[in-house]
Amino acid sequence: MKKMGTIALLFLMMTSFHSGSGDFVGMIKMKHKYKNLEGKDITSLLAPYLGREWEYYIDDKNYKSVNESGNWVQLYTGADNLYYSFTKEKSASKFDAGSTSSSKFEVTYLDRKEKVAGYLCDIMKVETDNQTTIYYYSKEVRTNPENFANHNYGNWNQYLKAAEGGITLKFELTDHKNKFIWIATATAVKPLALTATDFEFPVGYTIAE
């Protein structure tokens, strides 16, 4: 899930803020809103649980998200292929990211483009077991799919392969089971010099047994 300033700025910073492979390393700020299936805004109901804004940090093998309150939302560590989901009570559930979330992953590439956070994005629709998601992604803001090849959880590896490494700058997720729509849009994309310590399990949080 990013906004980056301008392409010129990206080129100027590439050697300083990208990994050796040239993939994006930095932060994408995402604004979230929610609707029911009839289109009514229910952001005030779901934001306390899912958040209004996330800062999404990624390097060439890890990622994490922090919400508007400074609480961690998720963490993936590539070295051990583990995914952590956090609660606002500062507890985390740990998952083997090699496990599969959905048996279904059907991609349809849409014949249109849209500019998000200054980037002209390709668009694809993905159908999984209980969700339909429209992804907007730019190959100018990308990562190497091979580095996340074992990340089955959330179908992340399949997404990256389908998007040719393009990181999501906007998504529109329809959850058919829980009957709501989640729309997330990048409002800032910022290259940063991140290190392994930025993706260590946070102090003050516990792992649920």
Terminus-to-terminus CA distance in the chain, angstroms?
29
Please give the pLDDT value at position 19: 37
What is the DSSP secondary-structure string of 108-130? Answer: EEEEEEEEETTEEEEEEEEE-SS
pTM above 0.85, yes or no: yes
pLDDT of residue 83: 97
* Single-letter code of the amino acid located at 170: K
Q: Would you call 153 helix, strand, or coil by DSSP?
A: helix
The pLDDT tens digits of the residues spanning 13-48 come to: 333 333 334 699 999 999 999 999 999 999 999 999
The whole-number pLDDT of residue 52 equals 96
Could you tell me the fold of the domain covering 7-207?
A: outer membrane lipoprotein receptor (LolB), chain A (2.50.20)
Q: What pLDDT shows up at residue 22?
A: 65
The 10 Å CB-count burial string (b at 16+, else e) for 118-146 is: bbebbbbebebeebebbbbbbebbbbebe
Q: What is the pLDDT of residue 5?
A: 34
pLDDT of residue 10: 31
- Please check whether residue 115 is in contact with residue 141, taking contact to mean a CB–CB distance below 8 angstroms: no
Cβ–Cβ < 8 Å for 131, 125: no
Dihedral-angle region of residue 91 (phi above 0 means left; psi in -120 to 50 means alpha; beta otherwise): beta
What pLDDT shows up at residue 101?
Answer: 83
Question: Please, what are the averages of pLDDT over each run of 10 residues along the chain (209 residues)?
Answer: 33 34 89 97 95 97 96 97 95 95 93 97 96 96 96 95 97 96 97 96 93
